[in-house]
Each structure stands twice: as C-alpha cells, then as structure tokens.
C-alpha cells in the first residue's frame, strides 16, 4: 500500500487547493515560465484546458466560476455553515500572457466573480537582480504587472518567498479572500518555486470558508426595520439583480418573493434569479414604469446599478425608498449598514415565510404567451425570436446572453426554473460569452451540473473570440450556439452610424466553422450539427429537431437577421442614447 508523501511540490498544493474549491479545470495557455508547474496537474487531480489564447482563458475561467456557483441547484438546499466553495482559475505566463487576459479578469472584478489568476513568472533570482528577461519591459522593473493587477484583483499572493511553505500560506490566504470577497485574486508564481516541497499535510487543514456572522443586535434591528417597512408599504417592489448570483442570494430572494407576493422584476443582469412562474413575477424592468416610479418601497437584491443595466439609471427608484442588499453592506434609504447580507437574508426569508402564506404556483406550470407563428417563409425578427425561444428552454439550462442584441432581447425570455442566465451587468465586453460558454460547459461536466449550455451570440461578438469554439471542440464540451447574424454591430448602429462601414463586420462562413476548427464528423460521442436558417419555417425545423434539442455535443445555429433589427422595445432608448452622443 502506498504511503502518503510527506512533502509535495508547491504547485501541487496550489492546484489541489483549487480542487477543494470545486475548480477541477484550470484554463490557460502554456509559456516557459508556467511549463514546469503543469507537470504537477495530474497529481492534483486537475484538468488542463489549453485555450487558444489568454483572453479566452480568462473569460472561460469567469464562466466556470459563475456556473460552479450554481452547483447548489442540485445539492441539498437550506442554510450551510460554510461559504459555497467555487472559483474559476486561469494560469498564464508573465507579461504577455497575463496582460492578454487582463480584460477578462477586470470583468470578473467588476461583476464580483471569484477567479484565481495564476501567473508563471521569472525565477526568484531574476526578480532580485532585475534581470532583462523576455516578457519584461527591459527596464529591470519586473513588478510592473503586479502593480497593474492590483487595480483589478482583491488580493495579490506574491510567492517570491525563500520558503515554499510560506508561499503556500500566502496563497491559501489569497484563496480565502477570493471566495469571501467574491472577487479575483492574483498569484505571482516564480518559475523556480513551483517544484519546491511543502508538507503534504497542509492540504488537510481546511481553508477558512466559515460563513461571516453579523453583530446579532444590529442584524436584528435591521431585520425589524425591513419587516416594518414591508408591512407598511402600499406599493412595494422587488428588483432582483445580477450580483444575487455570486452573492448566493437566489434561494432567499425566491423565498421572499413567494412569501410576500410583492410584485417582482429584474434588471438585465438579474435575469433568471427569480422563478418566473411565480404569480408576482412582473417581468424585466427595462425603464421607468408606473410601478417603479410610484413604489414606496423597493427591495434591491445584488444590485449593479450601471447605465446599461438600468436603462441609463431611469429604472432605479428613488434611493430614499430603496433597501439594497450587497455582499457586506445593506443600504436602507440613505443609511449604510456594514452587515453581511447572506445570513441576514436567511433570517429575513425565514421570518417572512413563517408570517406569510405560500403564494407561488407549482413551478412546472409556467405559462407562455401563445407563440406567434409568422408566415413560414418570412424572415426572423428579434421580437418574434425571443418569444419563440422561451418555449424551447428547459429547466437547468444555462443561457449566456452576448453583449449586443442578445443582452437586450434575452430579457424577454420566459424562463423555466431552475435556471441560470449569464448577462453582463456592467462589463459588457464584446466577445466575452463564447469563451464563457466554454467555461460553463466545462464546469457542468466537472461538477455534474445538469442542463444545457445555450449561447445567444452575435456575429460581431463571435469574431472577437472565435477560437473559443476550437477550445470547445478540443475538449468535447457540450455547447449550443444561436448565432444571430446581422452583419455587424447592430446595437452600435442604433447609437451612431446606422449605415457606417465601421459598424460592419465581414461575412464569415459560420456553418463551416466547426469543420474548420477540426470538429469530428459523424461521431456519436460528440455529435456536431451546424445549420443556417433565414426563415421562420427553417427555425421551426431546427427547434423541432431532437438531435439539436438534446444539447449534447456542438450545435451551431446561424440565424440571419436584418442589419438594423433590434428588439422594438429597446429602440426608443437606443435612439435617445444616440442623440445624447451627437448632441455634445
């Protein structure tokens, strides 16, 4: 019988910790500063996903973390003693690699996604001497990239230690920050320390993921205030938003909605947080409504109050009547309490449940508007498309909405429960969602999370990070892509330059992309289907195809749409934004 090694290489400690946090795959691109550590992946029970480039790796790690956060959908519900362990991770090389990924990591920071960014860097000796190494700026200042990373990560673990055990300690602390703050962390891994030994037993000491607690008296006081406000409100409103996902508010928000029957809406990024079959579900809040303007109490869960997420802030009720739940702040009107929302919300939800009747309908009875059936030969327009897709979705599906028209159109989907929607609330980086879908699919496989990974993509977005499709194929991941091909940046056209060449993108042969990237043909293990549809009848054919609906393997459905087509409800807002742009 093999005895347990008393020491392991530092890299094995680093990677094994990720596994403990439900990250079973590391994304990245190898480089000479990272190569050595990669030899310790298999001992750590970690899979390497070699992306075609680092930006894709960064977005994939973000997607992985978001999906991993949903693993609880399939595990026992109810209060847990520890924080949900879930991170995404990427490993890039010094300078060139890490900077190529920095946009994705900054996006994780802006949207509170816990991602561990490991960077393989020069040896400790080279750091000390300020050697003129490749990938440096040639000025001997090797720390410049760490400085840059400080702006977009919540903690930096600098492993330039004399002792590897000290490096392990620093690293562990950063990981705890990553989970606790739900933000990315940066790990500087000099190439010569990764194989240095650390005690294997360090891994037996669990990371401190204990749930934060609040001052009981203050918490109780705030709960009482909130309960009073709810009871006194004549026109209360619940607004779910995107940070409810990373802050793990989903169960509590839904309990509160069910128990109070308060009319409930969501901002773009909060799509999917609330069970849309509940009777008090009022749909997305896409601008000022009578309700949002006249409400005397708005409960905001996980708000991300950017212009794009709130119809240029017009959909935000008066702050004086808002109660907002952030990660570790609760804002009641203009007063800010430094309290952790999660434990408070658990108690609040429990009280409301005990006080109220269960108002929700059975979850499997979601009602759809009757599906419009345009003439068979007619072109597919945005308004009809999103309504039609609603009936095609299934519980446990994850929908990714690319920035552009899918982000706008997707909010009109009627979603089954449970579900997850990945829709950017503030970062809105074009090209993010295809690699994010790769990461979601990887997490679903690693963590046995059920449901399809469905990407609603634009052609302009697809071109930014197209090689992510090669990564999806390489690792035989299950992704269904609806590529809305409107010949350019339709969203931007409505802002400025409706006919301008700068809003065009070239015409690619999207139905050939899987073949080009080396997808197998006629594989029963990894079925690949590519289709192009231009008419309603062709779309119906695709949606009726069981081979497509099963979601296994790669499905690439290109949908031709008019260059200027955006959901009609969004047109006035886009026009107004364009006028402001030109007026100044």
Binding site as annotated, residues:
459, 486, 488
CB of 449 to a copy of itself, least distance (A): 25
What's the rounded Cα separation, in Å, for the pair 441 and 429?
20
CB of 126 to a copy of itself, least distance (A): 9
CB of 53 to a copy of itself, least distance (A): 4
135 belongs to the binding site for a copy of itself (CB under 8 A): yes
Residues 303, 243: contact at Cβ < 8 Å? yes
Q: Which residues inside 563-582 make contact with a copy of itself, applying CB under 8 A?
A: 577, 581-582
Residues 343, 211: contact at Cβ < 8 Å? yes
12 belongs to the binding site for a copy of itself (CB under 8 A): no
Nearer to a copy of itself, 223 or 315 (CB): 315
Q: Mention every residue, 6+ apart, whose C-beta is less than 8 A from residue 335.
A: none
Nearer to a copy of itself, 393 or 574 (CB): 574
Q: Which residues inside 294-323 make contact with a copy of itself, applying CB under 8 A?
A: 304-309
Count of residues engaged in binding a copy of itself, rule: CB under 8 A: 86
What's the rounded Cα separation, in Å, for the pair 203 and 290?
55
Q: Which residues inside 232-271 make contact with a copy of itself, applying CB under 8 A?
A: none
Task: Spell out a b/e string for 358-372, using b for 16 or more CB atoms within 10 Å of the CB, else e.
Answer: eebeeeeebeeeeee
CB of 114 to a copy of itself, least distance (A): 16
CB of 137 to a copy of itself, least distance (A): 5
What's the rounded Cα separation, in Å, for the pair 546 and 550?
6
Q: Which residues inside 469-508 make contact with a copy of itself, applying CB under 8 A?
A: 470, 473-474, 489, 492, 495-497, 500-508
Residue found by looking up tokens 């320390």 in the block: 193
127 belongs to the binding site for a copy of itself (CB under 8 A): no
Residues 424, 307: contact at Cβ < 8 Å? no
Q: Which residues inside 264-283 make contact with a copy of itself, applying CB under 8 A?
A: none
Residues 72, 494: contact at Cβ < 8 Å? no
Q: Based on the number of CB atoms within 10 Å of its own CB, is 512 exposed (0-12), middle (13-18) or buried (19 or more)? A: exposed
517 belongs to the binding site for a copy of itself (CB under 8 A): yes
Q: Mention every residue, 6+ apart, whose C-beta is less than 8 A from residue 208.
A: 176
Task: Please state the φ and ψ torsions of residue 61, each to the nearest 5 degrees.
Answer: -60, -40
Q: Which stretch binds a copy of itself (CB under 8 A): 127-135, 174-182, 445-453, 542-550?
A: 127-135
464 belongs to the binding site for a copy of itself (CB under 8 A): yes
Q: What is the DSSP string of 354-397?
A: HHSPP-PPPTT-PPPPPPP---TTSBP-HHHHHHHHHTT--TT-
Binds a copy of itself (CB under 8 A): choice among 22, 89, 121, 136 = 136
In degrees, rounded to 5, the angle at the alpha carbon of residue 493 between the alpha carbons of residues 109 and 63 is 25
466 belongs to the binding site for a copy of itself (CB under 8 A): yes
Q: Which residues inside 94-123 make contact with a copy of itself, applying CB under 8 A?
A: 95-96, 99-100, 102-103, 106-107, 109-110, 123
Query: Between 17 and 36, how does the x/- string for binding to a copy of itself read (CB under 8 A)?
Result: ------------xxxx--xx
Nearer to a copy of itself, 48 or 526 (CB): 48
Nearer to a copy of itself, 88 or 95 (CB): 95
Nearer to a copy of itself, 262 or 316 (CB): 316
CB of 471 to a copy of itself, least distance (A): 8
What's the rounded Cα separation, in Å, for the pair 419 and 421?
7
Query: Between 332 and 351, how does the x/- string for binding to a copy of itself read (CB under 8 A)?
Result: --------------------
CB of 134 to a copy of itself, least distance (A): 4
Question: Residues comprising the binding site for Mg(2+)?
Answer: 459, 486, 488
Q: Is the sign of the CA dihedral 282, 286, 291, 292 positive or negative?
A: positive
Cis peptide, bond prior to residue 418, ω within 30 of zero: yes
Task: Please state the φ and ψ torsions of residue 103, each to the nearest 5 degrees.
Answer: -65, -40
Binds a copy of itself (CB under 8 A): choice among 132, 228, 336, 355 = 132
CB of 495 to a copy of itself, least distance (A): 5
Nearer to a copy of itself, 125 or 335 (CB): 125
Nearer to a copy of itself, 324 or 419 (CB): 324
Q: Which residues inside 139-168 make contact with a copy of itself, applying CB under 8 A?
A: 144, 147-148, 151-152
**CA-to-CA dists, residue 499 to 340, 461, 490, 504, 563, angstroms:** 50, 19, 10, 8, 9
Q: Mention every residue, 6+ apart, whose C-beta is less than 8 A from residue 318.
A: none
Give 162's DSSP letter: S
Residues 325, 300: contact at Cβ < 8 Å? yes
CB of 526 to a copy of itself, least distance (A): 13
Query: Between 164 and 183, how does the x/- string for binding to a copy of itself read (CB under 8 A)?
Result: --------------------
Nearer to a copy of itself, 123 or 280 (CB): 123
Nearer to a copy of itself, 109 or 396 (CB): 109
Nearer to a copy of itself, 152 or 348 (CB): 152
CB of 209 to a copy of itself, least distance (A): 25
Q: Which residues inside 526-565 make contact with a copy of itself, applying CB under 8 A?
A: none
* Long-range contacts from 136-145, C-beta under 8 angstroms, 24+ separation: 136/94, 136/95, 137/95, 145/94, 145/95, 145/98, 145/99, 145/119
Q: Which residues inside 37-96 make contact with a copy of itself, applying CB under 8 A?
A: 38-39, 48, 50, 52-53, 55, 95-96
Nearest alpha carbon to residue 356 among 477, 248, 463, 262: 262
525 belongs to the binding site for a copy of itself (CB under 8 A): no
Q: Which residues inside 419-458 make contact with a copy of itself, applying CB under 8 A?
A: 426-431
């Amino acid at each position: 019988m093999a005895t347990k090694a008393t020491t392991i290489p530092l890299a094995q400690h680093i990677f094994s910790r990720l596994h403990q946090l439900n990250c079973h795959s590391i994304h990245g691109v190898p480089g000479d500063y990272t190569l050595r550590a990669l030899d310790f992946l298999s001992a750590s029970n970690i899979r390497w996903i070699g992306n075609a480039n680092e930006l894709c790796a960064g977005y994939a790690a973000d997607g992985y973390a978001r999906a991993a956060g949903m693993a609880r959908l399939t595990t026992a519900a109810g209060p847990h003693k520890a924080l949900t362990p879930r991170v995404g991770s990427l490993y890039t090389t010094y300078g060139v690699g890490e900077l190529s990924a920095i946009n994705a990591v900054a996006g994780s920071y802006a949207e509170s996604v816990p991602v561990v960014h490991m960077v393989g860097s020069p040896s400790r000796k080279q750091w000390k001497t300020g050697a003129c190494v490749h990938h440096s700026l040639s000025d001997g200042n090797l720390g410049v990239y760490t400085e840059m990373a400080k702006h977009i990560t919540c903690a930096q673990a600098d492993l330039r230690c004399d002792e590897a055990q000290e490096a392990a300690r620093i690293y562990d602390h950063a990981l705890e920050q990553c989970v606790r703050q739900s933000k990315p962390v940066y790990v500087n891994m000099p190439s010569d320390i990764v194989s240095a030994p650390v005690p294997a037993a360090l891994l037996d000491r669990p990371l401190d993921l204990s749930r934060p607690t609040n001052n009981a008296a203050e918490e109780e006081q705030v709960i009482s205030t909130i309960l009073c406000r709810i009871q006194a409100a004549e026109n209360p409103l619940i607004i779910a938003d995107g940070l409810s996902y990373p802050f793990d508010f989903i169960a509590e928000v839904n309990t509160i909605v069910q128990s109070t029957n308060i009319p409930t809406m969501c901002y773009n990024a909060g799509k999917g947080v609330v069970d849309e079959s509940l009777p008090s579900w009022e749909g997305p809040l896409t601008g000022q409504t009578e309700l949002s303007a006249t409400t005397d109490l708005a409960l905001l869960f996980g708000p991300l109050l950017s212009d794009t997420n709130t119809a240029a802030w017009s959909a935000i009720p008066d702050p004086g009547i808002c109660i907002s739940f952030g990660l570790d702040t609760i804002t009641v009107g203009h007063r800010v309490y430094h309290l952790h929302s999660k434990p408070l919300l658990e108690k609040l939800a429990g009280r409301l449940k005990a006080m109220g009747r269960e108002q929700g309908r059975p979850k499997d009875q979601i009602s759809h508007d009757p599906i419009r059936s345009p003439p068979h030969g007619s072109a597919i327009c945005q308004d009809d498309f999103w309504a039609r897709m609603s009936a095609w979705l299934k519980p446990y599906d994850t929908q990714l909405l690319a920035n552009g028209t899918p982000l706008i159109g997707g909010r009109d989907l009627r979603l089954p429960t449970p579900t997850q929607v990945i829709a950017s609330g503030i970062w809105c980086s074009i090209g993010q969602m295809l690699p994010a879908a790769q990461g979601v699919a990887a997490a679903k496989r690693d963590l046995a999370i059920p449901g399809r990974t469905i990407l609603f993509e634009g052609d302009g977005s697809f071109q930014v990070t197209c090689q992510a499709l090669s990564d999806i194929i390489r690792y035989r991941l299950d992704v269904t892509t609806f590529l809305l091909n409107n010949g350019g940046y339709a969203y931007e056209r409505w802002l400025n330059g409706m006919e301008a060449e700068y809003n065009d993108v070239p015409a690619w042969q999207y139905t050939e992309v899987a073949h080009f990237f080396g997808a197998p043909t006629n594989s029963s293990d990894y079925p690949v289907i590519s289709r192009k549809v231009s008419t309603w009848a062709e779309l119906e054919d695709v949606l009726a195809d069981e081979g497509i609906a099963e979601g296994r393997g790669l499905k690439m459905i290109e949908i031709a749409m008019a260059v200027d087509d955006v959901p009609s409800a969004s047109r006035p807002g886009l026009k107004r934004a364009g006028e402001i742009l030109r007026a100044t």
